[in-house]
Structure 1
Amino acid sequence: MTEPLVLLPGMMCDARLWWPQMVAFSADRAVHMAPITGAEHIERLAAQVLDTAPDRFALAGLSMGGIVAMEIYRRAPERVCRIALLDTNPLAETPPVAAAREPHIVAAKSGRLEQVMRDEVAPGYLAPGPVRQDVLDLVVEMARTLGPDVFVAQSRALQRRSDQQAVLRRISVPALVLCGEYDALCPVRRHEFMADLIPRARLEIIAGAGHLPTLEQPKATTAALRIWLAEGA
Structure 2
Amino acid sequence: MSEPLVMIPGLMADARLFLPQMVWLGAERSCQVCVAARGETVEQMSEAMMPGLPEKFALLGHGLGGDIALDIVRRVPERVTRMVLMATDPFSEPPQQAVERETRMVMARAGRLVEAMAQEIPVAAVADSPWRDEIMALVQDMALGLGEGVFLRQSRALQRRPDQQKTMRKVRLPALVLAGRQDPLMPLRRQEFTATLMPYGQFQIIEDAGNLSPLEQPEAVSQAIEDFLNGPMLLR
What is the TM-score of this pair, normalised by structure 2? 0.96
Give yes or no for contact 1:174–1:231 (8 Å, CA) kept in 2: no
1:7-31: CA deviation from partner (whole Å, max 9, x where unpaired): 0001000000000001111111111
Gaps of 5+ in 1: none
Cα offset for 1:149?
Answer: 0.8
For the residues of structure 2 that align with 1:187 and 1:220, how far apart are their CA atoms? 19
- Structure 1 residue runs of 4 or more that deviate by more than 4 Å after TM superposition: none
- Paired residue type of 1:41: T
Q: Identity of counterpart residues, as a percentage?
A: 44
Gaps of 5+ in 2: none
Matched, 1:175 2:158: no
1:30-54: CA deviation from partner (whole Å, max 9, x where unpaired): 1111111121011011112221100
- Counterpart residue number, 2:144: 144
SS, match of residue 69 in structure 2: helix
- Paired residue type of 1:60: L
Cα offset for 1:76?
Answer: 0.9
Cα offset for 1:114?
Answer: 0.9
- Counterpart residue number, 1:186: 186
Compute the RMSD of aligned alpha carbons.
1.1
Cα offset for 1:75?
Answer: 1.0
Matched, 1:61 2:61: yes
- Counterpart residue number, 1:8: 8
Alpha-carbon spacing, 1:30–1:208, altered in 2? closer, same or farther (3 Å): same
What is the TM-score of this pair, normalised by structure 1? 0.97
1:77-125: CA deviation from partner (whole Å, max 9, x where unpaired): 1110000111110000111111111111011111110122235533232
SS, match of residue 61 in structure 2: strand
SS, match of residue 184 in structure 2: coil
- Paired residue type of 2:153: A
SS, match of residue 135 in structure 1: helix
Deviates more, 1:155-164 or 1:191-200: 191-200
Matched, 1:75 2:75: yes
Matches within 5 A, 1:8-87: 8-87=8-87
Give aligned pairs, total.
233
1:134-178: CA deviation from partner (whole Å, max 9, x where unpaired): 111100000000001111111111111100011111111111111
Give yes or no for contact 1:122–1:139 (8 Å, CA) kept in 2: no
- Counterpart residue number, 2:206: 206
For the residues of structure 1 that align with 2:192 and 2:117, how far apart are their CA atoms? 28
For the residues of structure 2 that align with 1:217 and 1:121, how far apart are their CA atoms? 17
For the residues of structure 2 that align with 1:29 and 1:227, how far apart are their CA atoms? 13
